[in-house]
Structure 1
């Protein structure tokens, strides 16, 4: 198991990955521990940074943003020292759902949701390709999306 995580912690993480809003009593019952133990375990996982937070999985299409895309971004060679600054800038764009800093050919993947194709065009051409630190972009449309509900340690159990 991963440093300091036992089978109970792993079970808690597996349940929370699927349902972050589960009541503590129900979580405790699912993993087979007392509610007070469960509460202490979840608190410890949060304090250690294993659980970073709890968020709702919101459908962008239900909010009027049905066009989703993954935009691969390659930074210009002169901008190598600005990767974190670009990441912060990209996170502030209203269409950006997630930003991934990568190793490999691309420097970033941006997961975006837009209300229209014209809006997506503005993001890609106007704001990203026109950015002085960006060398190139490649856009892939997302047709369907599903969360796995798994945590990385579940494969090691």
Structure 2
């Protein structure tokens, strides 16, 4: 079965050999701080600013760089409780899947939605005010959704970002 059209899938990956050491160095700088000015990246990498700009543009066009994002602390917005909710669907019909992927990303508190393999169909990362809000989210938005058969909630105590080594960008 093909996935519904609403789901953002990773772009086809460039071949690793198409990413040279200069590109890797640029990616390391941007991963550390995506707001680093082009001139500073060029200086750090040892290339001309115009060359650096062209390489960054090419990395974006090839889908290596998918975007630049702010890392926002949900707790600073009053959303002090985060959870991962595993969701199993009732039936894997295209209509139910399309309804689920249309509705769920728009729900208040949803940070990310992951379509996964295994016993669960989706993982939802949510951020809410407190345990009462978490309970209300599950009851109001998931257990009553016609596509949902079962949910299992895991609280997130801490988020530890991975290293650049996980992407093959270590020094």
- The CA distance in 2 between the partners of 1:145 and 1:43, in whole Å, is 31
**Which of 31, 46, 49 matches 1:35?**
49
The residue number in structure 1 matching 2:167 is 152
TM-align CA RMSD: 1.9
Contact 1:28–1:34 at 8 Å: present in 2 too? yes
SS at match of 2:169: helix
Q: TM-score, normalised by structure 2?
A: 0.82
In the other structure, the counterpart of 1:75 is 89
Please tell me whether residue 119 in structure 1 is matched to residue 119 in structure 2: no
What is the TM-score with the length of structure 1 in the denominator? Answer: 0.89
Which structure dedicates a bigger proportion of its chain to helix? Answer: 1
Instruction: Give the whole-Å Cα distance in 1 for the aligned partners of 2:57 and 2:163.
Output: 21
Aligned residue-pair number: 155
Give the number of the structure with larger relative contact order, counting CA–CA contacts within 8 Å between residues 6 or more apart. 1
Q: For 1:68, what is the secondary structure of its paired residue?
A: strand
Structure 2: gaps (5+ residues): 1-14
Please say if residues 97 and 147 of structure 2, whose CA atoms lie closer than 8 Å, have aligned partners that are also in contact: no
